[in-house]
Structures are given as C-alpha cells and as structure tokens.
Structure 1
Amino acid sequence: MKNTIRLLALLSLLFMGCDDNEYEPPFELSDVGFYTSTGTADQILVNLNDYVSFSDLSQGAVTHSWTIEKSDAFLQGPIDRTDTLLERHIIEPRTNVSYDKTVHVLFQTSGTKKVRLRNTFNEMVTFRGNRGDVDYDMPAVKQGDVYVIDTTFLVKVYPKLVPVIKVRKEGQIVDHESKDTIYIEAGSSLEFIDLSTIGEPTGRTWTITEALAPGEVVAENPVVGSSNDSVANIAFNRLGSFRAHMNLSRTGQNIPGDYVSYTMSAPIKVTPSSQPFELSGEIIELEDETIQVPFNGEFAVFGGQEEFFTVTVNGEIFEIASVTVNANDATKLDIKLVEPIYRPDVITVSYAGGSIESTDTREAQPFSDVPVVMSTVNLVPEAISGLENGSGSWTTYWSNAGSVSYSTEQAATGQYSLKLQIEAGQDNAEATAFFEDPILFEEGKTYIISYKMYIEPGAVGSDGSAHTGLFLLQNWGFQFWNNFAHPVGEWTSHSVEYESTTPLSQFYLRIMPNDDKTTSMTVYYDDFSIIEKEERP
C-alpha cells in the first residue's frame, strides 16, 4: 500500500530522555518519516563541537541505517542540553554507521557535512514533506526486491570565530601583537580595522578602557571610547594608559550564535598634544537650546568662566547662565543662556581667553564671532530626507513614464540624491516615498516644507508650462509647485509654509512636461525637510 508521512519538528528535549531503541509499532504497516532537533530547514546550521539529534519514525522497514562522516561521532543518549562535555558521550569504538532509531551526532570539524538515512521496505512508500512552505513528494525507488528511501541531511558546521584586526596610526600600520607601547598624542586617533572572516561574523564592538596599575580598582565606567564600525577611527583625548578590545560576534535568525573577545597585546599611551587646544568644528544649538562648542581635546574641570564668553543674538549681547563641560563628552562645552532663543535667530559665540585648559594642560585658544548652527528637528525620516541609505525609501510611482533612481552624480549633502529624468514625448517622471509612521501635524502650528533641486545643464523644453511638484499625501489639496525658471547647474533651495492637521503618510514627486511634451531634462532632488516654524515674539 502507499502511505504518507508527516515531518515533525519537535524539540530535542522531548526525545533525548528516552531510550533510543524502545519504539515498536503497534501493528504491521509500512510508513516513512523522520524528524531532527533543529526542525525542517533545507540545511541544518550548527556550531562546531555541537550536536544534532536525528530520529527515524519509519515503520515496517526491512533495513535501516544512519551514516555519518568519519570526522564526526555518534553520542550515547540521553544528553542534557546544558552538558558542555560532549566528548565523554562519544560511543566507543567509533563507527560511522548506526542502526539505532535515534542518533545524536557530534560535529567535530567545520564545513558542510552529510548525515544519511537509508531505509528499505517490502512495499511502495512515499515521503511527503514541506520546504519553504512548498509541499513535495519523494517516492521510494525500487532496487531489486525492495523499495528504498535514501535521504541525506545537509549540516553546515560553523567554525569558531577568529578575530583578525589591523591597527593604523597616521596611516601607518602598527604592531598590535607586540607588547611595545603605542604612543599617541592627546586629540589624535587610531584606526582599528576588523578583517575577521573565519566563522562568518556578523558584527563587532571596539572598546577602549583604562589600563589599570597593579592593585588599582576598576572604575565604575572604565570604557572611554567605543565603536561598532568595521573600520573605526577612535580619538584619544585623555592622558593615561589604555587597552583596546574587540568583541566579535555572530548573531541572526536561525544562525548559531558565537562570541569571542580579543584584547590587543600592545598598550596605548596618550601623551600631551603638541597641537593648540582649539575649536574643532561647528558650534551648534541643541533641541533644548543648549549651545554646544566642540574642541580638539577633553576639558579639565573648571568653573566661573562665563565672563570670558560673549553670545550675541541678532546683534544683541545675551546674558549667559552657565558654561560647563558636557557630562557625556568632555570635548564639548555647553553654554546656556538666561533668555530663550528661537530658530530664526542669528547667534554668534566668542571666547576671549580665560583659564580653561585641556586634561593635558593646554590652554583653550580664543575665538571670535563664530556663528551657531541652529537646531532643526526634521520630521521627515532620514532615509527619505537625505537618501543616504542608497536605495529603497524612494521608488517609482505606479504611473511613472520617465526614469527614477538614486544617484551619486550630484548631491546637495552626503553622497546620494534622487534623480528624475524625462525624455521628449513622455507624460511624466514620478517618484514616491512611504512613511513607516505618518507625520502628525498639530493644529495652529505652521510648518516649513523644503527641498533642494539641481537642474542638469542642457535641459530642453523647460518653459513655464513644464514644472515639478511635491504632493503631501493624503492631502491632495496641497501641491508644492516649481517651474524650471531656476539657475541651471547648481543646487537651489525651495520652501513653502504649510498648515494642516492631515497626517502625512507619503511623498509624491513628479516632473510634468510642457504642453507640447518636448521636455527633455534631468533633475536631482535632496534634503527633503519638514520643520516646525519658530518666530521670536
């Protein structure tokens, strides 16, 4: 008779506590089936020196056998899942064939392994399984007087993770495996490069910790620098001795996890910098109206220095409430004013030179009338606004006739922009972007919608009737139009005020040709923004 089977993916705990050979069918029939402790995947994934349990559920078989590779071993069950000394369960003398119903296979070398189950029957049987939600049948093959079901399980055995790193100082490779000290000036950085491939790692974390002297107590938070990048530039702003560590990991759905920690042999010694202690970037306003001033080193603790700073707002000197070192990043000063500030304000900061020093005893250098970059909380998600994910957030609209793509040919900021191209005779070029969470607008508030646009030189038919439009869906009543009477070959900014309580779930952007459809042009878009409008009372 022709029988069917059901492939079961049961937890190994359910069968590991049983005697491997105690099963006996209640009556005579022929049927074929099996399960493993890992489920029904096409390929079983396991760590090196771990095991998988296989159980044959077939009934009425004439012969039955499991065959493994000689580098692997059968284990004697039952086995506790918390047991880490698996080698003591190896069945001796070793063999690569077993006739037990349930086997536990220990994988002692990495690579793709095969576990073979071979059953023979006196009558026709069919295995019915499911892979990737697709059902399939595997009928027995007649060989001589018997019917054979021959199944091979593929097992991918991951090797242990092996950290491999490279370290550069000022572009030159340094020997991180020696015990010779790596010297670096305060404010400089080292480049840490993860070259690990063995074990297929999926991530890493670099950490820099203070190197402790004998008998010294570990600080509450000894980490002074960290990064998750495969190529990490980590600055050393504090004097002292440090150690560099890398924690290498493999994680992911259905992937056997692994983790290994590596500490560089070479210690790192930070010495006083020969460079001036000075402003190192833009002065910015944070969302809470803090003015933040970055320097190229860490500040030593100070107090009472407010009189040496001057902050002007729209040309008027404002009273300073406090000047302090940022609690989370000692390379930054936080300035708070007594009076509130607003986004349209024009603010400058000056420092006349007081008694502020870096932790390596350098005096902070004065500066004058440096403008403040004001805080703008962009409601448009970064992937849609700046396009720096390089794909996916913007796609073609269903009725698009032109060309839509991400491009690195032009960018207002970063590397990418959105490129729309329309040729003569085409009805449009249309792109759209969906918001994962709709933007909610508050009643009574005004918002400024803006983007940047670059028209490629050589456009044809771009008269007043050809235009580009940005729609805020689902508010079809609002259309942000621009004709192409703009400078060509340079980025231009375009903005409009907006008041509505309709949630925004989608951008829709398009180029429409002139009336004769002779328009042929390429336009790049970047830096989409929606911010709440602020006005000084």
Structure 2
Amino acid sequence: MKNVLKFLFLIVSIFITSCNSDDYETPPAFTDLFITMSSGNNEIRDSEVNQFFSFSDVSAGALVTRWTIPENSFFLEGPIPNNLPNHDNYIKEPITNVSNDKTVSIMFKKGNSDTRIEYYGEFADSTSYIYNIYDLDLNQSMEDTIATVNINGKWVAEHEFSIDVYDTVVAKPEIRYLNETIIDYENTTAITLNVGEQIIFEDLSNFVVDNNARPNTTTWRVVTNEEDEDDRVTILSNTLNRAGDFEKKIIDTITFNQVGDYKIELLARRIRTETLRESNDTFIIPTVINVTP
C-alpha cells in the first residue's frame, strides 16, 4: 500500500512540475536591439506617395514590438510587388495605425519631408542600437542611438524614425508681359503679340502649396494650335534644371518670331533616383497666343 501511495505521489509531482514548466516563460538569454529598413545602409531614407517603406525588428530578446504610423499612411500585407503605381489593394484590414508585427510595410498617401514612424519595444535587459542618419540642416552624416530605459522594471525602447516622403509632381505655370503684368490664362481665351515680342514664363511647380514633390527640371514647349494634340508641331523647346536648388526660381523669356497661333506647354519633372521613381506632370496653358506681322 505504501508503494502505491509513493507511486501516486510521484505521478502528481511530475504532473505539477510539467504544468509549471509550460506556464513559466524563461527570460531570453541574450538581448540585442536591432532594426533593419528597406533603405539598407543608405543614410537618406525617402519614399513617395503611393509607394511604401519597410521596417523589421530583428532584435534578440524583444518581448514586445509596436509600430505607430501617422495619418495618410497604411500598413500593407504581402507579398507586395514593387513595380506598381500604387499599392491600395494590399492595405491591411482592419485599417489601424498601430501594429505589433515584427516586420511592417507602410504606404504613404501624402508627402511630408518629416514623416514620423514611432517604434516601441520592451526587452528583458538593457540594450541599444546605433544607426546613421543624414542631417539636412547640417549637411552631414550623423549617428542616432536607440537606447532602452528601465520603466517600472521593464527595459523600454522608444524612437521616432523620420522618412522623407515626396508628393507627386504638379505642374503650375505663370505667364507675364515684360512689364510684369500677370496674364490670367484661366480666364483669357487669347492674347495677340507682334512678331518679335516676348512673354515671361515662370515655373511655380516647386512652390505649389502643400506639395513637396520637388521637381528638378522644367521644359517649356511652344506648339502650334491644332485642335488635335497629336497634330501639333513643336517650334521651340527649352529645358532648365534646378541642379538641386529647390528654392531656385525658373524663369524664361520666350521670343515669338513666327506668325501663327500657338499654345505653351509646361513639363515639370522629378528625375528618377536610386530610391525614387520619376514623377512628371504636363500643363497646357489654355490661352492661345496669336502672333501677327
């Protein structure tokens, strides 16, 4: 009988120990904070409207991961192709601005040169992570550090990543007589010039309110005024470049030396880079320029 009782006691002890082992979470043996980004080691982190940027928390010993994104941005779920004009079909449902996923891909719907992505992590021990950023104000490379702080017994890391998100280019011209009188092309059907007279053209595409697309080339085209656009002939084309100076005004004075009826086209373009696609927009000024002898 004693042997039977000892055997039963042993079984119960094993059962209790087994239950306790399942319920007990062993603290990570190693803690190391590490974040990867789709920009890789590039110090300049940028994206554009309708495209996405990815973060991955590949830390060792991370107990909690949380990402918070701003308005006009969405979490995506994949696999996500890279060669699409936009990624609306990959927006994660239900829509929220918070995710606990280790890896997140974020699509932007509004340009903002200081788009902030908030990271929050909890760890079993203190740790830190150093990565390089490019300070546009100082025009130099710098180091930024994410370090944990002990809050109520938890090692907490909080950080905001800044992404430069570019808007889509919007072409916006202004035309003036030589005396600086602005021509209201939206309400002016036609103007008449004599052969040899000039008009001032200014590209305001880089100064559109609430748009940070930053087009860097301007092309003015003078075309004949056929009703069908495919039949129009370009008689003058001039391309100017901002050469990285996005505050530079692009002003051109065009001389009309041929008799005829003409329209003016403005092509504003941001050239393709390693991280950004080309963005361009064409505006056809509706005012007809009638050049007489």
| Shared fold per TM-score greater than 0.5 | yes
Q: What does residue 78 of structure 2 align with? A: 77
- CA separation of 1:185 and 1:71: change in aligned 2, threshold 3 A: same
Q: What does residue 131 of structure 2 align with? A: 129
How big is each residue's C-alpha offset from its partner over 1:239-268, in whole Å with a ceiling of 9 and x where there is no partner?
112110111123486784532111101111
**Per-residue deviation, 1:191:** 1.1
**Per-residue deviation, 1:104:** 0.8
Q: What does residue 176 of structure 1 align with? A: 185
- CA separation of 1:42 and 1:151: change in aligned 2, threshold 3 A: farther
Check the 8 A contact 1:43/1:154 in 2, yes or no. Answer: no
2:257 and 2:167 map into 1 onto residues whose CA distance is 38
Q: What does residue 266 of structure 1 align with? A: 287
SS at 2:45 equivalent: strand
- CA separation of 1:71 and 1:147: change in aligned 2, threshold 3 A: same
2:107 and 2:82 map into 1 onto residues whose CA distance is 13
2:127 and 2:230 map into 1 onto residues whose CA distance is 72
Amino acid at match of 1:203: T
**Per-residue deviation, 1:94:** 0.7
1:190 and 1:136 map into 2 onto residues whose CA distance is 51
Is 2:265 the counterpart of 1:245? yes
Structure 1 segment 262-411 matched on structure 2, within 5 A? 262-272=283-293
- CA separation of 1:147 and 1:216: change in aligned 2, threshold 3 A: closer
Is 2:194 the counterpart of 1:185? yes
Q: What does residue 146 of structure 1 align with? A: 154
Structure 1 segment 7-26 matched on structure 2, within 5 A? none
1:124 and 1:216 map into 2 onto residues whose CA distance is 66
User: Radius of gyration: which is bigger?
Assistant: 1
Amino acid at match of 1:224: L
1:236 and 1:68 map into 2 onto residues whose CA distance is 52
Check the 8 A contact 1:236/1:270 in 2, yes or no. Answer: yes
Q: What does residue 172 of structure 2 align with? A: 164
How large is the Cα RMSD of the aligned pairs?
2.7
Amino acid at match of 1:123: D
- CA separation of 1:41 and 1:85: change in aligned 2, threshold 3 A: closer
Q: What does residue 238 of structure 2 align with? A: 226
- CA separation of 1:225 and 1:239: change in aligned 2, threshold 3 A: farther
TM normalised by structure 2 equals: 0.73
1:166 and 1:218 map into 2 onto residues whose CA distance is 22
Percent of aligned pairs with the same amino acid: 25
Higher relative contact order (CA 8 A, sep 6+): 2
How big is each residue's C-alpha offset from its partner over 1:437-478, in whole Å with a ceiling of 9 and x where there is no partner?
xxxxxxxxxxxxxxxxxxxxxxxxxxxxxxxxxxxxxxxxxx
Q: What does residue 431 of structure 1 align with? A: none
How big is each residue's C-alpha offset from its partner over 1:48-84, in whole Å with a ceiling of 9 and x where there is no partner?
2221111111122111111112432101111111122
1:193 and 1:147 map into 2 onto residues whose CA distance is 56
2:229 and 2:204 map into 1 onto residues whose CA distance is 35
Q: What does residue 33 of structure 1 align with? A: 34
Check the 8 A contact 1:225/1:234 in 2, yes or no. Answer: no
- CA separation of 1:85 and 1:135: change in aligned 2, threshold 3 A: closer
Unaligned runs of 5+ in 1: 1-26, 273-537
Structure showing the higher helix proportion among its residues: 2
Q: What does residue 120 of structure 1 align with? A: 122
Check the 8 A contact 1:210/1:224 in 2, yes or no. Answer: no
Is 2:56 the counterpart of 1:44? no
Amino acid at match of 1:223: I
SS at 2:286 equivalent: coil
1:163 and 1:215 map into 2 onto residues whose CA distance is 18
1:135 and 1:86 map into 2 onto residues whose CA distance is 32
1:170 and 1:138 map into 2 onto residues whose CA distance is 57
How big is each residue's C-alpha offset from its partner over 1:205-260, in whole Å with a ceiling of 9 and x where there is no partner?
111112225598455xx233435382211111111121101111234867845321
Q: What does residue 102 of structure 1 align with? A: 103
**Per-residue deviation, 1:43:** 5.8
Q: Aligned pairs, how many?
A: 244
Amino acid at match of 1:76: E
TM normalised by structure 1 equals: 0.42
